[in-house]
């Protein structure tokens, strides 16, 4: 299916809003913890409740994206996010904040999964996934720099959430440029799905690819969750850490751009063989003692390789069954919920070496899984 430039850009903006809170989590958790004087356990629940709402939206996505107009789904996701952000700004009670974060997660998941469903129906989908990722990272980098440096210092807790809500309202208007309806574009797919539902349920390669996507994303999310703590351990200044993280997100934009530029010119198997060794090298760079320059380069490179590989990993899943594109966001959310929590317990029991060893093991196993799935003739043909 072919999309106009306007539709691709609008979908990418909607996806960027869906990923925005994930990229801003370090800032969001920081200002909320300071303002409400939360413990570490309470701060951890903030993340869990956000991803809970995100996961609920992703689970409902197969129904919503096939039964309702895509533009209306986009408006609904933006409404959930905006409402939750405004309520958090004016009702800063811990119990209420947990509920409002779930509402924000519900909106984020709605937008993110909608974008994946739309772009998965395009020819050369990995190119469009690359464009999507590039938009996400550029928006995240800008706000990661602006909010801590200007908004938090001038307007505090309330002003920060209101600023994010204004961003959502402004960019949420991009829903107007989404493809008008899902019903027409899904007719052929739904007919095929009805005829082959029994065979699809037995698609082992699909399940392998989905679980590999879940664990690969979860493992790197675990590392990302502890990157700031690693920097503090290496005695980097707070301003340097913030600058390094902001620049690292731009690495994700570069990774998305490369995926968009290369597209299907790069064989899926070759993308795995290229990226996996680089990511493993970058992961262990964080384990060593590092300076600000090394920290920034490692974080930038991790974000670049992670987002470049993500575009191709999603394509691997879609090649197995395009009708399951809406599942992608659900499995990403599951990885983001489970792995960082397990990583925290592992860090407490086995230390940094145990954590890094576990991350390495998961990345290798998942890469092997993706490679085996790519032996499917249909995956290699794309």
Q: What pLDDT is attached to residue 364? A: 95
CA dist., res. 225 & res. 340, Å (int): 7
Q: Look up residue 84 and give its DSSP letter.
A: H
The answer to whether 382 and 268 have CB atoms below 8 angstroms apart is yes
Quick: pLDDT tens for 14-45.
Answer: 888 888 887 787 778 778 878 888 875 677 67
- pLDDT value, residue 161: 93
Q: What is the pLDDT of residue 281?
A: 94
Rounded Cα distance, 140 and 220, in Å: 18
CATH number at residue 255: 1.20.1250.20
Q: What radius of gyration do the chain's Cα atoms show?
A: 20
Work out how many domains the chain is built from and give that number: 1
First to last CA, the chain: 15
Q: What's residue 352's pLDDT?
A: 86
Domain, as residue range, for 241:
5-381
Q: What is the pLDDT along the chain (382 residues), one digit of tens a residue?
A: 677 878 888 888 888 888 888 778 777 877 887 888 887 567 767 877 888 899 899 888 888 888 888 999 999 999 999 999 999 999 989 999 999 999 999 999 999 889 888 887 776 666 777 777 778 777 877 887 787 777 877 888 899 899 999 999 998 998 898 887 654 444 444 444 444 444 444 488 889 999 999 999 989 988 887 777 788 778 887 677 777 877 887 888 788 788 878 877 778 888 888 899 999 999 999 888 778 888 889 989 998 999 888 888 888 888 887 777 768 878 888 887 788 778 877 877 888 899 899 999 999 999 999 998 887 544 444 4
> For residue 142, what are the contacts with CB-CB under 8 A and spacing of at least 6?
none
* Whole-number pLDDT of residue 111: 93
DSSP 376: S
pLDDT the model gives residue 196: 42
Q: What is the pLDDT of residue 366?
A: 94
Cβ neighbours, 10 Å, residue 158: 15
């Amino acid at each position: 299916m072919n999309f106009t430039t306007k539709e691709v850009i609008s979908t990418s903006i909607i996806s960027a809003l869906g990923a925005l809170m994930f990229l801003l989590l370090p800032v969001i958790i920081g200002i909320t913890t300071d303002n409400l004087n939360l413990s570490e356990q309470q701060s951890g629940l903030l993340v869990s409740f956000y991803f809970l709402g995100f996961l609920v939206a992703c689970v409902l996505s197969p129904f919503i994206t096939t039964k309702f107009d895509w533009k209306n789904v986009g408006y609904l996701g933006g409404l959930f996010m905006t409402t939750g952000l405004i309520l958090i700004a004016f009702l800063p009670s811990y119990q209420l904040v947990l509920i409002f974060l779930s509402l924000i997660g519900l909106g984020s998941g709605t937008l993110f999964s909608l974008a994946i469903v739309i772009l998965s129906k395009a020819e050369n989908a990995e190119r469009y996934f690359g464009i999507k990722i590039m938009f996400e990272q550029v928006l995240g980098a800008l706000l990661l720099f602006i909010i801590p440096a200007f908004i938090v210092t001038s307007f505090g807790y309330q002003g920060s959430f209101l600023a994010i809500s204004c961003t959502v309202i402004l960019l949420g208007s991009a829903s107007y440029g989404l493809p008008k309806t899902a019903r027409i574009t899904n007719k052929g797919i739904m007919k095929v799905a009805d005829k082959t539902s029994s065979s699809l349920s037995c698609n082992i390669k699909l399940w392998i690819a989905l679980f590999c996507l879940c664990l690969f994303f979860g493992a790197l999310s675990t590392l990302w969750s502890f990157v700031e703590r690693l920097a503090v351990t290496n005695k980097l200044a707070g301003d340097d850490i913030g600058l390094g993280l902001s620049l690292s997100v731009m690495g994700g934009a570069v990774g998305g751009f490369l995926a968009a530029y290369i597209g299907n010119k790069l064989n899926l198997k070759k993308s795995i063989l290229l990226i996996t060794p680089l990511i493993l090298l970058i992961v262990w760079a964080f384990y060593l003692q590092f300076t600000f320059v090394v920290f920034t380069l490692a974080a930038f490179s991790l974000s670049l390789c992670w987002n470049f590989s993500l575009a191709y990993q999603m394509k691997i899943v879609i090649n197995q069954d395009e009708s399951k594109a809406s599942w992608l966001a659900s499995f990403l959310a599951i990885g983001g919920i489970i792995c960082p929590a397990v990583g925290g317990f592992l860090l407490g029991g086995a230390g940094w070496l145990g954590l890094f060893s576990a991350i390495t093991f998961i990345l290798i196993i998942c890469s092997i899984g993706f490679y085996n799935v790519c032996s499917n003739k249909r995956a290699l043909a794309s």
